[in-house]
C-alpha cells in the first residue's frame, strides 16, 4: 500500500467514525442546553435536564420496569436456549434440523409481524397484556441468540473433558453441572448481556403486548408525541452510558474467560 492510499484509508475511517458518533454526541450535548428547544446556538448550560430525569417518577418507574423485564426474559431465554443447544449438540436424530430451524425462526421474523402474532396468541390463551406478556415475547425472541452462541461454544468443548469427568466417577448430570456448564459460562454471559440489551431496547413487542405501564422505550415514544425536549436527550444519554458499560464489562469478562479455557 502506498503512503497516499494509507492516508486516504485513514480519512475514510475517521469520516465513518464521525458519521457514527456525531448524532450521539449531539444528543448528549443537547441534554445540557438551558432551553426547552433543541438546536443551536446554545446560549447557556444546565444540569437540570439530567437531574430532572431522576426526579421524574414515570421515567424511573419505566426504567425499573424495563430492567425487570430484561432480567427475567433473559433468564428464561438462557435456560431454554442452553437446554436446546445442549440437546441439539453431539448427536444427530430425526428432526434435529427441524427443531434447530424452528428455534432460530423468531430471530428472523420481522418485529411487527411477531408482535401482532404474540398479541393474537396472548388473547387466544387468555393472557392479559402487561409484564408477563412482554417477558414471554422477549424470551422467545431471544432464545435463538442464546442457542447460537452456546452451540458455537459447545462445538469447541473437547470431548475428553466430559469423558474425564465420567472417568473420575461423575454421572452425566454431575458432568453437566461441573464441567459442561462452567465451560459454557462465558458464552452464556455474552449471550445474556446481548439478550438484556435486545429486551431493553425493544419497542414493538413491548408496545403491542404492554398494559398501562410503559417500558422505557414506550415511555420515550409517548413523551416524543408531546414534543421533543432535552429531557429525552438526558434519558437517552443515561441509558446509552449504562448499556455501554454493561456491554464493555461483558466483553471483557468473556474474553478473559474464553482465553483461559482456550489456553488449556
Judged by beta carbon, residue 60 or residue 168, the one nearer another protein is 168
Interface positions, 154-193, toward another protein (CB under 8 A): 158, 160-161, 163-171, 174, 178-179, 182-183, 185
Q: How far is the CB of 188 from another protein (least distance, A)?
A: 13
Cα–Cα distances (Å) from 52 to 15, 56, 66, 134, in that order, read 35, 6, 19, 28
Q: Which stretch binds another protein (CB under 8 A): 53-61, 100-108, 132-140, 256-264?
A: 256-264
Q: How far is the CB of 176 from another protein (least distance, A)?
A: 13
Contact 217, 38 (CB under 8 A): no
Q: What share of the chain is helix, strand, coil (3-state, %, to 5)?
A: 80, 0, 20
Interface positions, 77-106, toward another protein (CB under 8 A): none
Asked if residue 221 binds another protein (CB under 8 A), the reply is: no
From the list 17, 10, 114, 56, the residue with the least C-alpha distance to 230 is: 56
Q: Does the N-terminal peptide bond of residue 73 adopt cis geometry, omega within 30 degrees of 0?
A: no
Give how many residues touch another protein by CB under 8 A: 23
Give CA–CA dist 138/158, Å, rounded.
33
Q: How far is the CB of 257 from another protein (least distance, A)?
A: 8
Judged by beta carbon, residue 234 or residue 261, the one nearer another protein is 261
Contact 129, 211 (CB under 8 A): yes
Which residues of this chain interact with another protein, rule CB under 8 A?
158, 160-161, 163-171, 174, 178-179, 182-183, 185, 259-261, 263-264
Amino acid at each position: 500500500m502506498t503512503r497516499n492510499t494509507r492516508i486516504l484509508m485513514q480519512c475514510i475511517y475517521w469520516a465513518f467514525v464521525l458519521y457514527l458518533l456525531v448524532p450521539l454526541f449531539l444528543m448528549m450535548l443537547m441534554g445540557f442546553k438551558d432551553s426547552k428547544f433543541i438546536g443551536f446556538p446554545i446560549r447557556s448550560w444546565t444540569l437540570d435536564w439530567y437531574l430532572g430525569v431522576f426526579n421524574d417518577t414515570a421515567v424511573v418507574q419505566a426504567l425499573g420496569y424495563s430492567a425487570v423485564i430484561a432480567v427475567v426474559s433473559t433468564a428464561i431465554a438462557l435456560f431454554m436456549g442452553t437446554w436446546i443447544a445442549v440437546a441439539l449438540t453431539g448427536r444427530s436424530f430425526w428432526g434435529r434440523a427441524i427443531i434447530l430451524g424452528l428455534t432460530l425462526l423468531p430471530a428472523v421474523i420481522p418485529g411487527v409481524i411477531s408482535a401482532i402474532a404474540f398479541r393474537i396468541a396472548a388473547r387466544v390463551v387468555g393472557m392479559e397484556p402487561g409484564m408477563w406478556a412482554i417477558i414471554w415475547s422477549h424470551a422467545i425472541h431471544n432464545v435463538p441468540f442464546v442457542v447460537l452462541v452456546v452451540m458455537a461454544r459447545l462445538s469447541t468443548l473437547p470431548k475428553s473433558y466430559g469423558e474425564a469427568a465420567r472417568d473420575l466417577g461423575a454421572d452425566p448430570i454431575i458432568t453437566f453441572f461441573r464441567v459442561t456448564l462452567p465451560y459454557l459460562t462465558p458464552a452464556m454471559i455474552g449471550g445474556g448481556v446481548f439478550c438484556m440489551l435486545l429486551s431493553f431496547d425493544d419497542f414493538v413487542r413491548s408496545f403491542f403486548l404492554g398494559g398501562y405501564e410503559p417500558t422505557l422505550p414506550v415511555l420515550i415514544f409517548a413523551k416524543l408525541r408531546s414534543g421533543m425536549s432535552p429531557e429525552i436527550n438526558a434519558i437517552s444519554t443515561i441509558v446509552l452510558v449504562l448499556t455501554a458499560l454493561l456491554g464493555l464489562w461483558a466483553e471483557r469478562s468473556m474474553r478473559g474467560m474464553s482465553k483461559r479455557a482456550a489456553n488449556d
